[in-house]
Amino acid sequence: MFYDVIIVGAGIAGLYASLNLPKNLKVLILCKDQPWECNTFYAQGGIAVAKDKEDISLHIDDTLKAGAGMCNVEAVKALSHESLEVLEDLISKNTPFDKDKQGNLLFTKEAAHSTSRIIHAGGDCTGRVVHSHLISQINHTLWKNATVTELLMEGNSCCGVSVLTKRGNYNLYAKNVILASGGIGALFNYHTNAYTISAELHGMILENGLELKDMEMLQFHPTVFTKTKHARKMLLSEALRGEGAHIVDFWGKRFLFDYDSLGELAPRDKVARSIFDYKLELAKNSKLTEEQKEVYLDLSPFSKDFFYERFPNIARNLSALGYDLPKDKIPISPAFHYCMGGIKTNHLGKVVGANNLYAVGECACTGVHGANRLASNSLLEGLVFSRRASRDILNQNYQPKWREFPLHSQILQKEQDENLKTLLRKIMWEKAGIIRKKSGLNEALGGVEVMLESNIGRLLKLRLLVAKNIIESALKREQSVGAHFIQ
């Protein structure tokens, strides 16, 4: 089975990469489960774009400020300049973005943006709408229920991937491989990611001597409904606060202004840490009830009609849980949301140190986000850099050093792995999460190293390699910056 291009992942980055590759190429898209079980599908807020050429410099400035001095300036410039081209292409593909009665695009505002520049679709269902639209247009082969278990590396060339499907184990070979496998959500107790997002491809990068970059830079979304039994928690879009929702305590105090003059619209890392800190202080007061120890999202500034029209997905999900909206206040907590770091790539999405291996979307570190991602730049990054990667493949026509690989039948999971995964999520949440201490990070490192020495399956080993890299990266960065906060 030989292809021109294999794409691992069917989120916005993987799908858009495939749409930028012509029909005459033999392209295969692989996804671990159903194609909609990806972070794109759950994205609510929208896609940040420069509204026009005059807004480009402002968008660049906002992105650089959020990144706290750690962004790659050239990558940020490419992101903003090419946002206009990508938007034009999406509109030409009849992507159903929300518009006013005159047919003009509707823009909303989110934290740390100096103007309203975020386009959306289906109200708060942007990811779902865009994903469904793109997947309806793909003209290449897509395999569902296909788990990549190994990168087939020969020197600096990637000859393909080993994949497990319901029909069996296969080695698939390709001239080029694009990784669009998403982030690392499964490493944390509380997260907003699809359950397929587990950092395994990051681990394969490490075991092949390639680099991860800025893995200590992890973003925790401030407003997440965590009162569910599943590890993936319900994201409550930042667009809620952009449109006027407030964060309050039990008594209605907007306490965030005690931490930052921008209140609810401060950068995400500040809002998340402020909520986390405030809840810690409340928890110390034994005289308070459990309800009084909570922090809430106050939706009362919205009319019912506006709320249900603008945020239909959130309204439907919370109403199903018994909340009277927008009257009732919703208990919230921060949860892991996005990894700014990832597989180290150049400005075209090519993995540094590899000849024909690319990484795009959240799994990659292009340098766009620096120490803290500007809200809604994530979907845009997936679009811009997947297009760049596809174009580079078409320009290069690279012929890899090829050989046939033996088909490994590795044990992917062992009986005790589920218990160890639970322990890993707890360690990462408590020791390598929103607020870090050197002592806690060292404890976490010790725990991860013990598990790595245990008799474990391959997929857990890959997760542990990435967890170890995150912890070691956090220990090396001794000063707080952006999303990395160490005491």
> What are the tens digits of pLDDT across the range 362-397?
999 999 999 999 989 999 999 999 999 999 999 987
The whole-angstrom separation of Cα 455 and Cα 180 is: 30
Residue 395's contacts (CB-CB under 8 Å, 6 or more residues apart) are none
pLDDT-above-90 percentage for the chain: 90
254 is catalytic: no
Phi, psi for 350 (deg, rounded to 5): -80, 135
* Beta-sheet strands, E only, within 299-446: 330-339, 342-344, 357-359, 364-365
Is the distance from CB of 89 to CB of 47 less than 8 angstroms? no
- The Cα 362–Cα 340 span in angstroms is 7
Structure tokens at 371: 């120490």
The residue among 72, 424, 399, 13 whose CA lies nearest residue 214 is: 72
Q: How confident is the model at residue 237 (pLDDT cuts 50, 70, 90)?
A: confident
- Reported residue count of the chain is 487
Beta strand 246-249 with 234-235 is unpaired
pLDDT of res. 134: 97
- CA-CA distance, 331 to 329, in Å (whole number)? 7
Cis preceding linkage at 326, omega within 30: yes
Using CA atoms, how far apart are residues 434 and 46, in angstroms rounded to an integer? 24
Q: How many helices (H) and strands (E) does the chain have?
A: 14, 18
Label the pairing between strands 27-30 and 141-143. parallel
Q: What's residue 402's pLDDT?
A: 76
Using an 8 Å Cβ cutoff, are 111 and 264 in contact? yes
For residues 289 and 482, what is the distance between their CA atoms, to the nearest angstrom? 33
Residue 139 has pLDDT above 90, yes or no: yes
Q: Strands of 234-235's sheet, edge to edge?
A: 234-235, 218-225, 330-339, 295-298, 246-249
pTM of the model: 0.94
From the candidates 117, 232, 241, 268, give the one annotated as an active-site residue. Answer: 268
CA atoms of 220 and 272, how far apart (whole Å): 6
Using the predicted structure, report yes or no on whether residue 331 has a pLDDT greater than 80. yes
**Residue (of 219, 218, 220, 222) closest to 242 by Cα position:** 222
Average pLDDT of span 284-309: 96
pLDDT at residue 101 above 90? yes
Who's near 108: CB < 8 A, 6+ residues apart?
45, 46, 116, 118, 120, 239, 242, 243
pLDDT of residue 448: 98
With 0-12 CB in 10 A as exposed, 13-18 as middle and 19+ as buried, what is 52? exposed
Lowest mean pLDDT among 20-34, 107-121, 290-304: 107-121
| Among candidate residues 328, 332, 131, the one with its CA nearest the CA of residue 233 | 332
Nearest-angstrom CA–CA distance, 203 and 149: 10
Q: Is the distance from CB of 378 to CB of 11 less than 8 angstroms?
A: no
**In the structure, what pLDDT confidence band is assigned to residue 233 with cuts at 50, 70 and 90?**
confident
Please report the sign of the dihedral spanned by the C-alpha atoms of residue 159, residue 186, residue 236, residue 364.
negative
